[in-house]
């Protein structure tokens, strides 16, 4: 009897699945997409209902031939590519290219465990044509935008630029935020705190109360004079306890992770980039070698917008909680969470495949990064099925003449879900109201009674200024994109990478800052293509693509509706919109001629240049303060690490800022060029040790036949020949580690 053939994307996924299926199945990997639009042309017949011209991706013919040979004698072919639109497209193209429609079955594997794989194989489906057409519509849509808009950018801004339908909107968020920071006008305000204690008890603890009301109105102190007037009015007044309110407050657990919330929490807690989070999660999903047990998928599929979990997983989590935390931590009924209206809800949440597998039990099998991410996913899921945290909250009003001060205390009564997990927060920031947004969950007040007289130990007036909104971090930009409906779970990582790779924005101290090129490209696109740069339009397009997947809208109809208005915008932009100079105006005067200075891009980054150039060639270095203010002068001296010596010349290493963040450099640079990556552990600088490159025995060099190895560059991972430097052959890799052809700059859009 001929073996059934199972086709997945990656070799690692193939190895894990093969272990569960046994001898009756042959498992092969396609190494990602095999077919795509051509790299050298638009590849879309717009006049003929947007008919795509698909070609085999360069370097993928051998994979296609291997699958053709393997499927020839197979009685059944199971296409088990990832359970999303991209996976559906891979499955459709394989079935179509190899003409497998009479024996093909679609298998959706949401968790790569023995039970998960066998259950999926026992419930095969047909290829979802609507889902494939949704992916096809997105691919054609993005190809049209890239091929039509990029040449306009070359003409109006600079050669070699490219635009993207979704990435350009993300860039607009970054640019608009930078301008909001620059135009922000600080507003002065004051607060007044009173340090008090019970007069009748000399051993009583002092506590702080803040001014809440004054003369019957909400306290609002706008300047020093008002502050002095209130302090003067309180002179000699008795501080007496008024209303006391005590109540129990509950804080419910958060839902388990979806893609966007995982990316946000991993950025905050693990300091992982969005791209790194998804790469590590892919490995946890496809399978980790657990000793004699072999490869096992440790988490469910990581591209999802659903918070739903299977009944079996919930039951296993509740049983684990009861045994390890106690019955009081298990709610009477399982916790359920509302799925947002825009969610496709095609998959479960991101959760451990076996809730009983604690992170510490698996640590010896995981890399440091895998352990950190698995721990985060495991803790969040376990916590999601626990009881709320319970606090005793006390609010005390204290009268003093015409003023009312208020003190609030919170004491944890029962930890509930916080015993397993605490939500990550952004670096503590001050909002425009001047109040710290972080809730103090454990501030205890002394026992007080109504009419108790308090001793005033200190009145503490403080001046504050409202702060501008912070620049976007990776986590906050992902949150903004999700809330506005821009992109989908599978696209966030590429969106953030693309705006940096193209030089439109760079990260400074973990925050996105637009470059002068980013400003110029954004401003031109906003004026020339208001449709594709409009967040509401982009979000509506995402919803329409979802409707294609649901069979409510035909993909050709969707593209027609888009292209009619878009083609007019292209013509208008070419003929009517003026070009953009690659510079940002400032209000700084040139100290040589008095003209205004502008920010320009140079070989080594941004600098200040006289707007009268070339008549005046004045140029200066500059830095930016946290609020975006430009500070003229050289960048601050690098931090010297006296305890770390250069392994080439023995000189001390120093910390410098580069385009891609901080790094260690020899203090004798440029005489000694020896850069190193580093991390901070317990406050100490530790040089990152380079890992041995991963050898891909399954992929041979097309030039010399030697195995390819995974290498890294500033643009991400790629495959290089193990015979380097004698053989310099390279191949590109996609987000899943699969080989892809090289794209032109216009197509990258």
- What is the predicted pLDDT for the residue at 260? 92
- Whichever domain contains 542, its CATH number is 1.10.460.10
Least confident of 211-220, 243-252, 480-489, 651-660: 651-660
Tell me the two tokens of residue 48: 């003929």
Query: For residues 550, 555, 557 and 561, what is the CA-based torsion angle, rounded to 10 degrees?
Result: 100
**Mean pLDDT in the chain?**
87
For residues 449 and 557, state if they share a domain.
no
Are the C-beta atoms of 531 and 539 separated by less than 8 Å? Answer: no
Task: Please state, in angstroms and rounded to a whole number, the distance separating the CA atoms of residues 86 and 556.
Answer: 19
Residue 536: its H or E element:
helix 535-549
- What is the predicted pLDDT for the residue at 345? 55
Radius of gyration of the chain (CA): 30
User: Kindly report the CA angle at 14 between 76 and 737, in degrees rounded to 5?
Assistant: 125
Least confident of 390-399, 409-418, 690-699, 726-735: 690-699
Task: Please state, in angstroms and rounded to a whole number, the distance separating the CA atoms of residues 625 and 284.
Answer: 40
For residues 302 and 360, state if they share a domain.
yes
Phi, psi of 100 (to 5 degrees): -105, 10
Cβ neighbours of residue 745 closer than 8 Å, sequence gap 6 or more: 150, 160, 161, 162
749 within domain boundaries: no
Buried b (16+ CB within 10 A) or exposed e, 81-118: bbbbbbbbbbbbbbbeebebeeebbbbbbbbbbeebbe
Decide: residue 298, CB within 10 A, 0-12 exposed, 13-18 middle, 19+ buried: buried
For residues 277 and 349, state if they share a domain.
yes
Which DSSP state fits 1? -
69 within domain boundaries: yes
- What is the predicted pLDDT for the residue at 737? 65
Which band of pLDDT confidence, cut at 50, 70 and 90, is reported for residue 744? very low
For residues 308 and 321, state if they share a domain.
yes
- Spot the catalytic one: 20, 147, 285, 301: 301
Strand 389-400 versus strand 403-414 pairing type = antiparallel
For residues 235 and 219, state if they share a domain.
yes
745 within domain boundaries: no
Instruction: State the distance between the two ends of the chain, measured CA to CA, in whole angstroms.
Output: 48
Cβ neighbours of residue 285 closer than 8 Å, sequence gap 6 or more: 111, 112, 297, 298, 299, 300, 301, 302
Top-confidence residue, 390 or 31: 390
Which DSSP state fits 563? H
622 within domain boundaries: yes
Strand 207-214 versus strand 389-400 pairing type = unpaired
For residues 437 and 480, state if they share a domain.
no
Residue 80 CA to chain centroid, in angstroms?
A: 27
Whole-Å CA distances, 581 to 155, 223, 604, 745, 749: 12, 43, 19, 21, 22
For residues 504 and 538, state if they share a domain.
yes
Boundary (domain end) residue, out of 670, 687, 704: 687
Which structural domain, as residue segments, surrounds residue 318?
259-384
- The whole-number average pLDDT for the span 252-265 is 94
747 within domain boundaries: no
For residues 534 and 418, state if they share a domain.
no
- The answer, yes or no, to whether residue 604 has pLDDT greater than 90, is no
Residues facing residue 653 across a β-bridge: 641, 666
Residues facing residue 513 across a β-bridge: 506
Are the C-beta atoms of 426 and 511 separated by less than 8 Å? Answer: no
Minimal CA–CA distance to 186: which of 631, 629, 632, 633? 629
Could you tell me where the DSSP H helices lie in 408-491? 474-484
- What is the predicted pLDDT for the residue at 181? 93
For residues 505 and 540, state if they share a domain.
yes
Are the C-beta atoms of 215 and 221 separated by less than 8 Å? Answer: no
Are the C-beta atoms of 172 and 522 separated by less than 8 Å? Answer: yes
422 within domain boundaries: yes
- What is the predicted pLDDT for the residue at 633? 74
Boundary (domain end) residue, out of 547, 575, 603: 575
- The answer, yes or no, to whether residue 658 has pLDDT greater than 80, is no
Are the C-beta atoms of 488 and 507 separated by less than 8 Å? Answer: no
- The whole-number average pLDDT for the span 546-569 is 93
Give residue-wise pLDDT tens across range 409-461: 999 999 999 999 987 765 533 333 334 434 455 688 999 999 999 999 999 99
Taking the CA atoms of 450, 453, 456 and 457 in sequence, report the sign of the dihedral they define.
negative
- What is the predicted pLDDT for the residue at 429? 36
Residues facing residue 318 across a β-bridge: none
Residue 56: its H or E element:
strand 55-56
Half-sphere exposure of 657 (CA within 13 A, CB side): 12
- Map tokens 């807690």 to a residue: 269
Half-sphere exposure of 286 (CA within 13 A, CB side): 20
Q: What is the DSSP string of 317-380?
A: HHHHHHHHT-GGGS-SS----PPPTT----S--B-BSSTTS-HHHHGGGS-HHHHHHHHHHHHH
Are the C-beta atoms of 219 and 192 separated by less than 8 Å? Answer: yes
Task: Please state, in angstroms and rounded to a whole number, the distance separating the CA atoms of residues 659 and 517.
Answer: 14
For residues 78 and 26, state if they share a domain.
yes
- Map tokens 């495991």 to a residue: 378
Task: Please state, in angstroms and rounded to a whole number, the distance separating the CA atoms of residues 349 and 346.
Answer: 10
- Map tokens 């717009």 to a residue: 46
Which DSSP state fits 580? -
- Map tokens 């299977």 to a residue: 310
- What is the predicted pLDDT for the residue at 635? 57
Give residue-wise pLDDT tens across range 116-175: 999 999 999 999 999 999 999 999 999 999 899 989 998 888 888 888 888 999 999 999
647 within domain boundaries: yes
Instruction: Please tell me the total count of domains within the chain.
Output: 7
Estimate the crossing angle of helix 492-501 against helix 167-182, to 10 degrees: 60
- Whichever domain contains 224, its CATH number is 2.70.20.10
Query: For residues 358, 361, 367 and 370, what is the CA-based torsion angle, rounded to 10 degrees?
Result: -10
Residues facing residue 412 across a β-bridge: 391
- The answer, yes or no, to whether residue 626 has pLDDT greater than 70, is no
748 within domain boundaries: no
Q: Does 78 qualify as catalytic in the annotation? A: no
Buried b (16+ CB within 10 A) or exposed e, 306-327: bbbbeeebbebbbebbeeebee
* Share above pLDDT 90 across residues of the chain, in percent, rounded to a whole number: 56
Which band of pLDDT confidence, cut at 50, 70 and 90, is reported for residue 1? very low
Tell me the two tokens of residue 474: 């990776």
For residues 415 and 433, state if they share a domain.
yes
- What is the predicted pLDDT for the residue at 369? 94
Are the C-beta atoms of 126 and 100 separated by less than 8 Å? Answer: no
For residues 269 and 318, state if they share a domain.
yes
């Amino acid at each position: 009897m001929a073996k059934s053939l199972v086709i997945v994307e990656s070799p690692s996924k193939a190895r894990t699945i093969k272990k569960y299926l046994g001898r009756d199945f042959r498992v092969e990997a396609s190494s990602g997409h095999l077919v795509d639009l051509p790299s050298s042309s638009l590849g879309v017949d717009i006049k003929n209902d947007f008919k795509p011209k698909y070609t085999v991706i360069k370097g993928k013919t051998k994979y296609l031939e291997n699958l053709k040979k393997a499927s020839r004698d197979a009685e059944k072919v199971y296409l088990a590519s990832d359970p999303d639109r991209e996976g559906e497209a891979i499955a459709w193209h394989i079935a179509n290219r190899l003409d497998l429609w009479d024996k093909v079955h679609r298998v959706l594997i949401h968790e790569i465990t023995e039970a998960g794989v066998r259950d999926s194989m026992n419930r095969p489906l047909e290829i979802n044509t609507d889902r494939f057409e949704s992916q096809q519509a997105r691919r054609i849509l993005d190809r049209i935008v890239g091929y039509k808009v990029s040449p306009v950018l070359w003409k109006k801004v600079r050669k070699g630029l490219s635009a993207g339908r979704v990435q350009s909107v993300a860039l607009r968020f970054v640019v608009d935020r930078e301008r909001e920071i620059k135009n922000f006008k600080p507003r002065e305000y004051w607060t007044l705190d009173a340090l008090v204690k019970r007069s009748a008890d000399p051993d009583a603890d002092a506590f702080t109360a803040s001014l809440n009301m004054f003369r019957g109105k909400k306290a609002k102190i706008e300047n020093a004079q008002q502050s002095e007037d209130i302090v003067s009015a309180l002179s000699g007044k008795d501080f007496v306890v008024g209303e006391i309110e005590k109540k129990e407050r509950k804080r419910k657990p958060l839902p388990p992770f979806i893609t966007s919330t995982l990316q946000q929490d991993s950025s905050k807690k693990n300091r992982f980039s969005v791209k790194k989070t998804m790469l590590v999660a892919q490995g946890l999903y496809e399978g980790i070698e657990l000793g004699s047990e072999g490869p096992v998928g440790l988490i469910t599929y990581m591209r999802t917008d659903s918070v739903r979990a299977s009944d079996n997983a919930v039951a296993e989590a509740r049983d684990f909680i009861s045994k390890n935390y106690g019955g009081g931590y298990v709610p009477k009924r399982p916790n359920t969470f509302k799925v947002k209206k825009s969610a496709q809800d095609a998959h479960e949440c991101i959760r451990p495949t076996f809730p009983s597998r604690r992170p510490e039990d698996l640590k010896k099998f995981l890399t440091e990064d895998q352990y950190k991410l698995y721990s985060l996913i495991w803790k969040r899921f376990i916590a999601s099925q626990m009881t709320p945290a319970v606090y005793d909250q006390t609010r005390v009003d204290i009268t003093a003449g015409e003023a009312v001060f208020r003190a609030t205390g919170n004491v944890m009564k029962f930890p509930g879900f916080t015993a397993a997990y605490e939500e990550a927060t952004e670096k503590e920031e001050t909002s425009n109201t001047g109040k710290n947004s972080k809730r103090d969950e454990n501030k205890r007040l002394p026992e007080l009674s109504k009419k108790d007289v308090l001793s005033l130990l200190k009145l503490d007036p403080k001046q504050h200024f409202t702060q501008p909104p912070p620049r976007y971090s990776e986590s906050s930009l992902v949150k903004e994109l999700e809330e506005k409906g821009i992109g989908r779970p599978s696209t966030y990582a590429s969106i953030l990478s693309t705006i940096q790779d193209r030089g439109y924005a760079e990260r400074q101290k973990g925050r996105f800052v637009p470059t002068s090129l980013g400003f110029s490209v954004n401003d031109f696109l906003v004026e020339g293509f208001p449709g594709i740069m409009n967040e509401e339009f982009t979000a509506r397009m995402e919803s329409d693509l979802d409707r294609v997947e649901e069979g409510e809208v035909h993909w050709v109809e969707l593209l027609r509706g888009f292209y009619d208005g878009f083609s007019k915008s292209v013509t208008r932009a070419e003929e009517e919109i003026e070009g953009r100079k690659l510079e940002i105006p400032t209000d700084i005067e040139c100290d040589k001629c008095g003209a205004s200075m502008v920010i320009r891009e140079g070989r080594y980054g941004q600098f200040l240049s006289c707007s009268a150039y070339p008549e005046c060639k004045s140029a200066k270095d500059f830095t930016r303060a946290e609020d975006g203010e430009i500070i003229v002068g050289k960048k601050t001296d690098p931090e010297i690490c006296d305890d770390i010596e250069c392994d080439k010349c023995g000189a001390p290493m120093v910390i410098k800022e580069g385009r891609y963040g901080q790094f260690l450099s020899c203090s004798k640079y440029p005489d000694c060029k020896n850069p190193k990556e580093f991390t901070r552990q317990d406050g100490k600088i530790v040089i990152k040790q380079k890992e041995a490159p991963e050898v891909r025995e399954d992929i041979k060099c097309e030039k010399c036949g030697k195995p390819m190895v995974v290498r890294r560059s500033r643009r991400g991972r790629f495959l290089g020949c193990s015979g380097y430097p004698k053989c310099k052959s390279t191949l590109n890799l996609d987000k899943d580690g699969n080989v892809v052809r090289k794209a032109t700059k216009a197509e990258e859009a």
